Amino acid sequence: MKKIIFIICIMAIAGISLGAIYKWVDEEGRVHYSDQPIDDYKTKEVDIEPGPTQEDVKEAQEIAKKWHSKMAPSLSLTKLGPLPENQSSEYIETVWTGINFNTEKLIAEFTLTLKATNRLPSGAFLEVRFPNPADPINPFVVGKIRKGGTSELNFSSPDLQGLKCWNYEIVTYIYRGSSKSVLLGTHSQLVQSRVNMDKVRDGVELFTAISKGNCP
């Protein structure tokens, strides 16, 4: 009986259209379900709530992803591995990436300096998507146009909350212009945090974490 109920629930969740479902009890008091009324028994039609829409399922998946990412524990130094190397791609190269900390406000920000290669056209629009540790499915987006022959472009994220010991990925989308109608390519760069802000209570603890790390 439990298996039948489980199957009915799964079908509803999957959005499968169900006909009428009937419930009836036999002489031994056992409960049964069927898709047809049973003539020899008093049957009662069971109300079944409609299954969730595709939008409902997608929203639930995003919430689960967000919750999982926020609750993910900091990595140990062993699992973090060495500091990531600066990356090069067709249009840009990473010159510098890091994390700036404010020991008074107990906040931080990602920083990124990119160098244009000779293939990056003047007027190109670079859209940098910084990780948002407190809300992983909503990254911080910062854009900048390459003016003239500018060779280096500097980017900083807004203030960060929820920073953990983690290898965060910064992705830069490279467009032909500010209209973003033509995507030329992307550039990915990892930045490593060895500070778990959840364990920091004041400026002294933050300074110590910056100096020595406070990863598990």
One-letter amino acid for residue 48 of the chain: I
For position 22, what pLDDT does the model report? 77
Q: What pLDDT, on a 0 to 100 scale, did the predictor assign at position 65?
A: 57
Phi–psi pair at 13, nearest 5 degrees: -65, -40
User: According to the model, what pLDDT value does residue 61 have?
Assistant: 65
The whole-number pLDDT of residue 55 equals 81
Find the Cα–Cα–Cα–Cα dihedral 96, 158, 193, 130, rounded to 10°: -70
C-alpha to C-alpha distance for 155 and 153, rounded to whole angstroms: 7
The ranges assigned to domains in the chain are 2-51, 78-212
CATH code assigned to 78-212: 2.60.40.10
Q: Return the SS3 of 5.
A: helix
Q: Contact, 133 vs 163, CB < 8 A?
A: yes
pLDDT along the chain (216 residues), means of 10: 42 49 77 75 70 75 58 88 97 97 96 97 97 92 94 97 95 97 97 96 96 94
Specify the pLDDT at position 56.
77
What pLDDT was estimated at residue 70? 56
| pLDDT given for residue 20 in this prediction | 74
Counted residue by residue, the chain has a size of 216
pLDDT for res 2:
42
* CA atoms of 27 and 121, how far apart (whole Å): 82
